[in-house]
Amino acid sequence: MIGILVGSFIPMLLLGVPIALCLVLMTIFVFIDMGNPLLFLQIPQRMFTSTENLLLLAIPFFIMAGEIMNRAKITDRLMTLSGALVGWIRGGLAHTNIIASMFFAGITGSAVSDTVAVGGIMIPAMKENGYDEDYSAAVTASSSVIGPIIPPSIPMLLYASVMNVSIAGLFLGGLLPGILVALFLMATAYLVAVRKGIGERVPFVGFVNLLIAILRGIPALLLPAIIMGGILGGFFSPTQASAVAVMYGLGIGLFVYRTLSWDDIVHVLKHTVTATAMIMFLLACAKSFSWLVSYYNLVEHVTLAFVHLTENKYVFLLLVNILFLVLGMFLDMGFAIIVLGPLIAPIAYQYGVDPIHFGLITCVNLTIGLVTPPFGLVLFAACGVSGVKLARLSVAILPFVAAEIAVLLLITYVPFFTMFFPRLFGFA
């Protein structure tokens, strides 16, 4: 069976067949080899039942909320607030870029959306102020990975639905890692700016201007607070929280900032339908493959393989990190979560790793893969926004990827950073 899977998946991938179809076709090829036509009936059944999880309803709502806030052009206000907070540090615009990405992460939960929205404003501004275009694009791309780490997070929702892990626990667990990524990126940006002699310090804007920036940004920043506060306070479920986020975003865009028109709603709905359809179709196709994995007891075989390699939990986690970092460069993040999660997570549990801790390791790992040269998806988005060639961006982003890997190792081997808030609120 392994020969059929590998022998069919790689050629189809090279031919440009969508990953979702690759999964279904691989399953069909294995069933043909088994000579049992009745098993074909399992494919549509498994695809249909995979979408029955109520938690998945939160995905289109969070996508819609992020798109609404993006269309409402709140990025300018977040940039102003970020600049007032950290713009006075050496390499100020780079730090502003990173902090803006962290704020924007609490709204969109998407790395690509973060790259396009923040990069479209910050990269031209950084170029005009004497920053290298390679450096500007690298800061934008690397900071955008904070999006899927800080709640709300689409990858975490997907992981929670597939692995039956508390989504509130995952959201809470992502807070400290997201802040750590921002701090490590800011330290790296500072060192690179000093080495290159760019980004001279500017005066602090003053407490009055800082207060004005905070007041102007509060309506946007309240969204993640409402989501987490409502979930933790028991006022609504994660799915209901996503619907509340949509209503709040509409209220902010239409009546507070007044930057959202009714024509924009049509574009928001189109984007939401397209993005949701892609995620759900991938999930449905992956479910049939997951059933095949269970049918052949692949989890048991993989577990034995890992046990033969090492019985040490820390070595196992190192191997998992290496595996996910490599695969994250080539595979769609949703595909990796849906397929690799059920395969690797049960092994981690046997090593004594907490389900929420391993979920955060998985999501952070695959998120870093989005910016890892040379095939990270966010790299292509950053190239499109900045006009920088992929080869140049791949070199410029290496120090920032190294900083993110350092955070990954920190949260892998020091569970405090992922488990503090989940334990504090009783989710671990």
Separation CA 95–CA 105 (nearest Å): 15
- Residue 358's identity, in one-letter code, is F
Query: Is it the case that residue 55 has pLDDT exceeding 80?
Result: no
pLDDT for position 311:
77
pLDDT at 145: 84
Identify which has the larger pLDDT, 64 or 105. 64
Work out the average pLDDT over 53-68.
Answer: 78
Q: How many residues does the chain have?
A: 428
Highest mean pLDDT among 66-70, 243-247, 297-301, 416-420: 416-420
- Pull the structure tokens for residue 427: 């989710």
pLDDT at residue number 422: 92
pLDDT, tens digit (0-9, with 9 covering 90-100), for 24-37? 777 777 777 666 65
Say what the pLDDT of residue 420 is: 92
pLDDT tens digits, residue range 163-173? 888 888 998 99
Own/partner long-range contacts of 259-266 (Cβ < 8 Å, ≥24 apart): 259/72, 259/73, 259/74, 260/68, 260/71, 260/72, 264/71, 264/72
pLDDT at 249: 83
The Cβ of residue 2 has, within 10 Å, a number of other Cβ atoms equal to 10
Among 196-210, 217-231, 262-276, 367-381, top mean pLDDT goes to: 262-276
Give CA–CA dist 111/23, Å, rounded. 25
Are residues 284 and 42 in contact, defined by beta-carbon separation less than 8 angstroms?
no
What pLDDT digit, counting tens, does each position of 325-375 carry? 877 776 667 777 877 788 788 888 888 899 999 999 998 998 888 888 766
Percent of the chain at pLDDT exceeding 70:
84
Domain boundaries, the chain: 55-424
Question: 110-135: per-residue pLDDT in tens?
Answer: 676 677 777 777 788 888 878 888 88
Residue 146 predicted with pLDDT over 60 = yes
pLDDT, the chain, mean: 80
Q: pLDDT value at position 40? A: 66
Angle between helices 92-108 and 175-196 (to 10 degrees): 160
Query: What integer pLDDT is reported at residue 187 of this predicted model?
Result: 93
pLDDT score recorded for residue 5: 61
DSSP letters of 256-317?
A: IS----HHHHHHHHHHHHHHHHHHHHHHHHHHHHHHHHHHTTHHHHHHHHHHHH---HHHHH
Helix, strand, or coil here: 15? coil
Terminal alpha carbon distance of the chain:
38
Alpha carbon separation from 428 to 225, 351, 356, 422 (Å, rounded): 21, 17, 7, 6
How many whole angstroms separate alpha carbon 215 and alpha carbon 221?
Answer: 10
The answer for residues whose C-beta is within 8 angstroms of residue 174's C-beta and 6 or more apart is 149, 150, 151, 153, 156, 360, 363, 418
pLDDT at 108: 61
What confidence tier does 2 reach under pLDDT thresholds 50, 70, 90? Answer: low
pLDDT band at 417 (very low <50, low <70, confident <90, very high): very high
